[in-house]
Structure 1
Amino acid sequence: MSPAAVRPATGAEALGGTQSLPLAPLASRDRTLAPVAEEGLPRRDVRHFSLVGVIWDDPDTVLHGRVQVRTRAAGTDTWSLWQDLETHNDDAADPGTAERTSGRVHGATAPLWVGDSDGVEVRVRAEADRRTEDTARGSRTATTTGPLPTGLRLELVDPGESAPEAARQDGAAGAPQRAVAPGSAPYSAPRSAPRSAPTADPTEVLAAMDASAANADLADFGATEIPALDRQQTEQELFALRAGELTGQQRVKPYIGPRPRIVTRHGWGADEGLRERTFVYTKKVKAAFVHHTASGNGYSCTQAASLIRGIYRYHVKSMGWRDIGYNFLVDKCGNIYEGRAGGVAKPVLGAHTLGFNSNSMGIAVLGSFGSKKPPAAATRAVAQLAAWKLGLHGANPKGKTYLKSGGGNRYPKGKKVRLNVISGHRDGFATECPGRQLYRKLGSTRTTAARLQGR
C-alpha cells in the first residue's frame, strides 16, 4: 500500500490517539548461530504518529535485549535508519501505591520521538548469553538467550493537534505579553486547531478546570503560562503562600530564586480527559531528581508541546499511569513546562524515581544525553526551576537531605538514604538516567540554583 493510500485521520483522531500493535516471532536472520528469541513487526503502513515505544505485560519484568525501529516520514517513500529505544525505562510509581497496583501498569521502553510518520518496522532481539565450557576435548562456547517479556506490543502515539486558542495567539499583535525568564526562548504553542469546547466531554471540562484551579494563586484561571517574577515579587508570593508557616528568620531573609516562567498544562494542550481526576500530594519537596526523557534529540522547540503530549499519552494510555510521571519538563531552548497536574507550587506526588517519589519532584529534560551535551539553556532552566521550587519548601540546592526509600533496585524499602538535594535519577535507582553528560552538569546546577536563592 502506498503512503497516499493510508486512511486519513478522522476528526476524533486529530485530537490524538494510540495504535497498539502486537509483535510476533521473527525468524533468525543468521542461521549460523543458535536460535535467538526475536519478535517484531514487518514494514507496514499505519495512521500518522510521531512517538513510538514498546510495552509488555509485567512492569517488573526487565527486557534484556535490543529494541530497534525504523519509520517512514509521512507522505514520502523515505525510511529512517534503524534507531534504538532505551529498554530500561526506570521512571515509575512507588511500589505498593494505588498507581503501581492498579492492574493497568505495563513494562515499557522509553518512548522515541520520530516526527510525523506513517510507516513503521520494529524488531526486538533478546540478549545473547555466551558461556564457555571446558571439556576433555577442549573449550567450547554455548550461546543461549533468556525469554523476551510476554505481551510485547508496539505503541504508535499521535500526540494530536489540540492546542488552546489563547496559546496559539500568544505573541500576536494585540495579545498580552508575558515576561520571559532569562535564558529562556519565547514559547509558541503549535499553530493547530483547538479542541472545540461545545463538543468536549463534560468530565474532561471539569478536569481541565481542576488543573487550572490548582494554580489559582499564581495565574489567572485558564492561563497558558505562569509568568516570571522578579526576586521581590517572588518573596512576597512566598509569604502569601506560606502565611503562618515561615520562621522569623525566613521572613527576614527567605532563600528562594525568582519564579521562572512556566507553560501550564493548558499551554501545552494537555487532554485532561486522559488522566485520573484526583490529585495526590506528599508533605513537602525536600529533593529534586533530574531526568532525561531518552526520547531522542530530533525535535525542535516548536515541537516540544507535541512531544510532551505524546509522552503524556504514552505514560497514561500505554504504561497505565494516572498522569504524566514528571512534575516538570524542560526543552532544549530552556522553556519550562508543568507536568503532573495538581499545582506547580504544591508537593504533587509524581512517578519519576521508583522508591523516592514521596517528598521530591522530578524534572525531565526533553532529549537523550548519554553522549550529547545538554544545551546551556536547558541546564540553566533546571537551576532556575529548582531554585524557586526548592525555595518554596526551604531546601538548599547545595545541601543534603534524607529520604526514606519506598523500595527499588538500589535501596531496600524503609532505608533512610542521604542524597543531594538536587540529585540525578541514578542516585536513587540503578539506571543510566539522566545520561552521563547531563549528570555531569548537576554540580554546576546546584551552585547556580543556590546563588539564585541568595546563598
Structure 2
Amino acid sequence: MLSWRSIRRLVTAFLAVALVLSGLMLSRAQDPIAANAPIAGLDEAAPTPAPEAEDAAPEPKGPKPVVRTKETVVPKVQAGSPKNVVAELPQTRTTSYGMVGVTWSAKTTDKDISVAIRSLTNGKWTSWETLENDDDAPGDAGRPGTEPVWVGKAEGVAVRVSSKSGTRPDDIKVLTIDPGGVDEAAKSTVTSAAYTPGGVMNGTARVTTAAEVTPTDGSPTYTPKPTIIMRSAWGASAGGSCSAPLTGSSTRGIVVHHTAGNNSYAKSDSAKIVRGIQAYHVKGHDWCDIGYNFLVDKYGQIFEGRKGGIDRQVRAAHSGNGEVNTYAMGVSMMGNYDEVVPPEALKAAMVKLIGWRMGTTYMKAKGTWKVSEKNLTLNMIAGHRNVVGTACPGKYAYAWLSAEGGLRDRVEKYISDYSSDIKTRAAELGKTVTGPVFIGEAPVTDGRATRFGKGYMYSTPDVGAKFVTFASGFYDKYKALGAQGSALGFPKGDSPTVSSSGTFAQRFEHGSIFAVRTSTKTTNYAVWGAIAATYTKLKEMSGQLGAPTSSVITESTGSRANFAKGYIRYFSESKKTVAYDSSGKVISTSTATSTNSVTIPESRTITVKGHGFGHGIGMSQYGAQGAAKAGEKFDSILSTYYPGTALGTKTGNIRVLITKDTTASVIIKARSALTFRKGSGGTAVTLPATIADVAVTKWMITPLSSDKTKSVLQYVTNGAWTTYENKIWTGDAQFEASAIRLILPGGSDVKYRGILRSALPKAGSTDRNTVNVLSIESYVRGVVAAEMPSSWHPEALKAQAVAARTYGVRGIVPSHYYDMCDTTSCQVYRGYSAETEATDAAIAATKSKILTYEDKPAFTQFSSSSGGYTAPGSQPYLKAVPDPHDDWSGNANHEWTKSVSAATIEKAHKSLGTLKSITITKRNGYGDWNGRVISLKLVGTKETITITGNTARTSFGLKSNWFRF
C-alpha cells in the first residue's frame, strides 16, 4: 500500500481516468521523493536505464473523476465536540461522490493528527469513522493526509480533526471524489496479447498460455503473464511529472499492501475505486500518479497501477522509503484485511502476478534483500509493515504471507519449474557482464528475450541464449536494423570477438555486426547474407578487404558493402557474389547454389558432402590433437570445449559393465595370488594354484544349474569343471588380483585390473553380469588408450584423460550395480590389455583431475571430429563453439563425401514408397551451410515424412548430421 501508518480501511469499487479539481490549486505534481534525490548504498553506480521512446503508452481515454475541495475546515470547534477536536467541517451536503479524504499543509509539524468523517447516504448520516493517516511521504514532498475511503454514492460529508497537542493543522482540505460513472471501458480487460514489452521486444508479444507452464514435450517451462486490466481500460488520468517514469535498475523485492476501506464493494465498483485512488493521490497528496504498481481486487482482477511499470521496476510511492519505492514492486490488495481474511480469488491472482514478475526476472520467492536506507533487511516478499510503522496489509493478509501454504510458499511452488536458458546463461556470464534484469523475460518472434542493465539476451531453440551488449554500439545497431526480425536473425555468439586489427565483431545467425575503431570514434557496420559469407571466406578484417566501411547497401541490381580495401556486390538475378579490390579488380566470385535440396536422379544415387564425425558435442578429439599440435596445453583445450568448467579432483573406485562377456558366468584364467570373495564385504579366500597336485587352469563363478538364483564356484583341472569346496551362495561374488584375464565367449581373453565381479542385476535374478571394479585411475588407463591414438600429442592425450575421467566419475551411481559400460554408449574401455606407455604418462600427468561445474562433475561428452564447429549440448557448458583446429591434414573426417543410394533410404523408411526428393528444412545455425541439420523432408510416391538430422545420419549411413547435397 501507500506510505500509510496503521492502515486498515479497504478502498473499494470502480475508479477511472483524469481528474478535475474545483477550488483547490496544487503547487506541484511529483512523487514523495524528489526526482533527482540520491539513494545511498545502492550497488549500481551508473544511472538506471531510461525507458525507450517506443515504450510510452497512448494517452488513456475514459471517464474523468471529479475532485471537489470543500472550504477549509472552520477553526472554531462546535459546542459539544469531543475533546482534542481542533477543527471541524459541519455536516454539509455536497454533490454526489464516492470517495473522500483529508489533506493538510506539509508545513504542519504535529504528527498526532487524527481525522474522523461521516457521510450522508440515502438521506441518512453514517456513524463517525476514523481514517488512517498516510504518513509515508519522506521529507516535505507532497501534502500529508489520510487514506482515501470509499463510501459508495454519498451526498454529504462531515469532518472532525483532532490533535493531542491541541495544534490545528494548516490549510486543511476535504476532498470528495466522483470517480466517474462511465464504466464500459473498465469492463474490457486487456490480456497478455495487448501488452508489449519495451525495446525490440514490443512487436511480437503474444498471449502466454497455460501450455507454457506445464509442457508435455520436454520443452522449457515459463511463468505465464496473468491478465492485467490496463490503465486505458480502467480509465487512468495521464498523471503528472512521472509521465516519463523513473525506473530502478532491477526489481529486488515485492511489498504487499492493502487499500483499507470497506470490503463490501461489487466487482463493477473496482475500476471506480482505482480511479478514485489515483485522483486522491494526484489531487490530494500532490503526487504525479497513483502510488501502487499494481492493485488486485477481491474478485481476482489485476489492475495496472503507476504508468510504465508493467514489465519494469517503475519507482512508485507506496512504502514510505525511497529505496524501497525504487526497487520493490508495490502490490495493493483492495480491501481491509485487518478485518477479513483475503478471499481465494484474490490470493490466486496475487500468486500469478507476483510469480510472473519474480519468475521472469529470475528472483527467488524466499530469502532477503538489503535496503541501505534505514538499514533494513526485507523478505523478498514483505508486508508494508516491515518497511514502516503501519498495520498494512492488515493482520489477516500479513499472516498469510508467511503461513504454511501461504503467499511465499505458493509463489515458490508456482515458479519452481521455471526453466530458462537465458537465466542459466546470464548466471554464467555474471552481473559484471549483463547487469541486473531490467525487463523480465518475455516472448518475441520465434524466441524469447530479457533486457538486462547492460544489454539484451535472446534465446531461440536453434541457437540458445546469447547476449547483445549495449557497449560499443552493438545493440543500437542491431535494434536499428530490426533486431531478431532483421536479416541478421538471432545472435549466435554472446561475446564480441576481436580481430588482429582491433575491430570487434558480434555474430548472428546470418551475419555479423562490426565495431570499427579509429582514434576518435567507434562506428558499427552490419554485414549479412551472401555478402557476409564471401567476406568470411576472405578472412574478414584480416583478409584482403580489411575492415568494413559500410553496412549492406541496397542497389538496383542487388546489394553491396564497402570495405577499407575494396567492396563486395551481390547480384539478385544471377545470385552471384563478387568481391573487388579497391581498384575494381575481381578477387573472388561465387554463385549461390542450393545445398538444402536434391531431386533423386535417374542413377538413384545422390552425393552428400559433410563435416565431422560423431555427434559433435563437447570435445573434438581431432580438434584437441590439432590444438595440441598448434601449441595449446591440455587445460586450454578443455576450456575451449567446456567453457565455464573448472579443474577439480576425484579419487575412488568405479564399476564397469563388461558387455563382451555375454554369458551368465565369469570365467578367468588361473594365476597365483588370486582371491575369491562373496559379495563386496565378505571374507577373502585365497584360491590355490594346484589342487591334488594338479594345476588349476581356470576358475568360474556361475549360476547353480539346479537353482539359478544361487551361484557356485568351480575350477578346471585336466579339462573338467569341479565345484570348489561346495561353495554355493546367494548374491554377488568376485575374483580379485592385481590383474586378471577374463575368458570371453569364443575363447579369447582380455586382461583387467582389480576385481571381476559376478553381479546380479537385481535381487533374486537368475541372470548374472560381469562387472570390473577398479580404481578410477586404472579405469582411465583402459579408456584413453581405446579412445585416442597413443601416438598423438601428449597434451591431446592429457585432455582426453581428464575428459574420460570426468565422464566416468559423473556416471557413478551407488544405487545401481554398475556405473559405466565399456562401449560407445558410455565410453570405450578395453582394460589392462589396451594400456600404452604414452597414454599412461598422460594419465599420470593429470592424476585425479576432473572438470567440474558448480562443484559437480561435468558431463564431458566428446566425439571424433567436430567438422569445424561443435554442436550445442544439454548443459550450459556444452556450447556451440568454433573449432578451427579440427581442420588439419591428418583429419579425414573434417570434410567428407558419401554416395548414398535411394534404395538405402527407402529401406530405412519403407512408408515412402519410391523416394522422389529430399529437402533440408532446418539447421542449427553454426558453421558452414548454416550448420548441422535439425530436420529434413523426404518426399516419396506413397508418403512425405519429416525426420531429424540424427535419424538421417543413421539411415543414410553418414558420419555426422552436418551435411549438404
Task: Work out whether the TM-score is over 0.5.
Answer: yes
1:19 matched residue in structure 2 = 68
**CA 296–313 in structure 1, closer or farther in 2 if over 3 Å, else same:** same
1:83 matched residue in structure 2 = 129
Q: Work out the CA distance in 1 between the residues paired with 2:251 and 2:277.
A: 24
Q: Larger Rg: 1 or 2?
A: 2
2:450 matched residue in structure 1 = none
Contact 2:365 2:381 in 1 (8 A): yes
**CA 296–274 in structure 1, closer or farther in 2 if over 3 Å, else same:** farther
Contact 1:63 1:149 in 2 (8 A): no
Q: Work out the CA distance in 1 between the residues paired with 2:178 and 2:359.
A: 37
342, 349, 357: which one aligns with 1:389: 357
Amino acid across the alignment from 1:448? R
Q: Work out the CA distance in 1 between the residues paired with 2:298 and 2:241.
A: 26
Q: Deviation string for 1:298-348 (max 9, x for gaps)?
A: 321210000000000100111011110100000011111100001401111
Q: Work out the CA distance in 2 between the residues paired with 1:420 and 1:47.
A: 45
Q: Note the C-alpha offset of 1:147.
A: 1.6
Q: Deviation string for 1:180-211 (max 9, x for gaps)?
A: 9xxxxxxxxxxxxxxxxxxxxxxxxxxxxxx9
2:229 matched residue in structure 1 = 263
2:744 matched residue in structure 1 = none
**CA 54–332 in structure 1, closer or farther in 2 if over 3 Å, else same:** same
Please state if 1:440 is matched with 2:399. Answer: yes
Amino acid across the alignment from 1:293? T
1:244 matched residue in structure 2 = none
**CA 370–269 in structure 1, closer or farther in 2 if over 3 Å, else same:** same
366, 380, 389: which one aligns with 1:421: 380
Where do residues 271-350 of structure 1 align in structure 2 (5 Å cutoff)? 271-272=237-238, 276-350=242-316
Q: Work out the CA distance in 2 between the residues paired with 1:25 and 1:60.
A: 15
148, 152, 156: which one aligns with 1:119: 156
41, 58, 61: which one aligns with 2:106: 58
Q: Is the strand fraction higher in 1 or 2? A: 2
Q: Work out the CA distance in 2 between the residues paired with 1:27 and 1:343.
A: 45
Q: CA RMSD in A?
A: 3.4
47, 62, 65: which one aligns with 2:95: 47
Please state if 1:362 is matched with 2:330. Answer: yes
Q: Work out the CA distance in 2 between the residues paired with 1:59 and 1:379.
A: 40
Q: Deviation string for 1:354-384 (max 9, x for gaps)?
A: 2221211100011112232221221222122
Percent identical among aligned pairs is 30
Q: Work out the CA distance in 2 between the residues paired with 1:231 and 1:397.
A: 22
**CA 215–157 in structure 1, closer or farther in 2 if over 3 Å, else same:** farther
Q: Work out the CA distance in 1 between the residues paired with 2:388 and 2:226.
A: 29
Contact 1:330 1:381 in 2 (8 A): yes
Q: Work out the CA distance in 2 between the residues paired with 1:422 and 1:59.
A: 34
Q: Work out the CA distance in 2 between the residues paired with 1:433 and 1:359.
A: 19
Q: Note the C-alpha offset of 1:271.
A: 2.0
Contact 1:58 1:149 in 2 (8 A): no
What are structure 1's unaligned runs of at least 5 residues?
1-10, 128-144, 172-176, 181-210, 236-251, 406-410
Please state if 1:72 is matched with 2:92. Answer: no
Q: Note the C-alpha offset of 1:217.
A: 8.1
Contact 1:162 1:269 in 2 (8 A): no
412, 434, 442: which one aligns with 1:450: 412
Q: Work out the CA distance in 2 between the residues paired with 1:122 and 1:77.
A: 17
Q: Work out the CA distance in 2 between the residues paired with 1:85 and 1:66.
A: 7
Q: Work out the CA distance in 1 between the residues paired with 2:246 and 2:195.
A: 16
Q: Work out the CA distance in 2 between the residues paired with 1:163 and 1:400.
A: 41
**CA 369–215 in structure 1, closer or farther in 2 if over 3 Å, else same:** farther
Q: Note the C-alpha offset of 1:36.
A: 2.9
2:178 matched residue in structure 1 = 158
Contact 1:55 1:109 in 2 (8 A): yes
Q: Deviation string for 1:42-88 (max 9, x for gaps)?
A: 11121121110010111774542432211122xx322222222112x
Q: Deviation string for 1:193-245 (max 9, x for gaps)?
A: xxxxxxxxxxxxxxxxxx98767989999x9xx9664262799xxxxxxxxxx
Please state if 1:431 is matched with 2:390. Answer: yes
Q: Work out the CA distance in 2 between the residues paired with 1:346 and 1:148.
A: 42
Contact 1:334 1:381 in 2 (8 A): yes
Q: Work out the CA distance in 2 between the residues paired with 1:234 and 1:148.
A: 60
Q: Work out the CA distance in 1 between the residues paired with 2:212 and 2:305.
A: 26
Question: How many equivalent residue pairs?
Answer: 349
**CA 63–229 in structure 1, closer or farther in 2 if over 3 Å, else same:** farther
Q: Note the C-alpha offset of 1:403.
A: 2.5
Deviates more, 1:390-399 or 1:212-221: 212-221
Q: Work out the CA distance in 2 between the residues paired with 1:59 and 1:387.
A: 41
Q: Note the C-alpha offset of 1:279.
A: 1.5
Q: Work out the CA distance in 2 between the residues paired with 1:268 and 1:449.
A: 27
**CA 397–213 in structure 1, closer or farther in 2 if over 3 Å, else same:** closer
397, 403, 410: which one aligns with 2:371: 403
Q: Note the C-alpha offset of 1:418.
A: 2.2
Contact 1:219 1:227 in 2 (8 A): no
Contact 1:275 1:316 in 2 (8 A): no
Q: Note the C-alpha offset of 1:404.
A: 2.5
Amino acid across the alignment from 1:347? Q
Amino acid across the alignment from 1:157? I
Q: Work out the CA distance in 2 between the residues paired with 1:419 and 1:273.
A: 30
**CA 426–262 in structure 1, closer or farther in 2 if over 3 Å, else same:** same
**CA 276–347 in structure 1, closer or farther in 2 if over 3 Å, else same:** closer
Q: Work out the CA distance in 2 between the residues paired with 1:59 and 1:316.
A: 19
Contact 2:239 2:288 in 1 (8 A): no
Q: Work out the CA distance in 2 between the residues paired with 1:343 and 1:395.
A: 17
Q: Work out the CA distance in 2 between the residues paired with 1:289 and 1:253.
A: 29
Q: Work out the CA distance in 2 between the residues paired with 1:454 and 1:322.
A: 37
Contact 1:52 1:113 in 2 (8 A): yes
Contact 1:26 1:40 in 2 (8 A): yes
Deviates more, 1:148-157 or 1:433-442: 148-157
Q: Deviation string for 1:391-438 (max 9, x for gaps)?
A: 222111122222322xxxxx2xxx3x3211000011111111111111
TM-score, normalization by structure 1: 0.68
What are structure 2's unaligned runs of at least 5 residues?
1-18, 22-62, 418-965
Q: Note the C-alpha offset of 1:261.
A: 1.1
TM-score, normalization by structure 2: 0.34
342, 366, 369: which one aligns with 1:374: 342
Contact 2:20 2:65 in 1 (8 A): yes
Q: Note the C-alpha offset of 1:282.
A: 0.5
Q: Note the C-alpha offset of 1:158.
A: 1.3
